[in-house]
Amino acid sequence: MAADWNRKVCEDLTYGLYLVTSIDGDRLNGQLINTAIQVTSDPPRLAVIINKKNLTHEFISKSRVYAVSVLEEAAPLTFFGPFGFRSGREVDKFAKVPFKKGTTGCPLVTDYTLSVMEVKVLNEMDVGTHTIFVGDLVNGERLKEGRPLTYRYYRENLRGKTSANAPTYSPTP
Domains, the chain, with CATH or none: 17-156 (2.30.110.10)
Distance, in Å, from the CA atom of 84 to the CA atom of 56, rounded to the nearest integer, reads: 12
12 Cα distance to chain centroid: 20
CA–CA gap between residue 153 and residue 147 (Å, rounded) = 11
Confidence of residue 173 (pLDDT cuts 50, 70, 90): very low
Across the chain, what does the average pLDDT equal? 87
Specify the 3-state DSSP secondary structure of 123: strand
What predicted TM-score, i.e. pTM, was given to this entire model?
Answer: 0.86
At residue 57, does pLDDT exceed 70? yes
pLDDT classification of 166: cutoffs 50, 70, 90: very low
pLDDT at 100: 96
Task: Say whether 83 sits in a helix, a strand or coil.
Answer: helix
The residue type of 154 is Y
pLDDT (average), residues 40-52: 97
Cα(59)–Cα(109) distance, integer angstroms: 17
pLDDT digits (tens, 9 = 90+) for 83-101: 876 787 888 888 889 999 9
How far apart are alpha carbons 106 and 51 in whole angstroms?
19
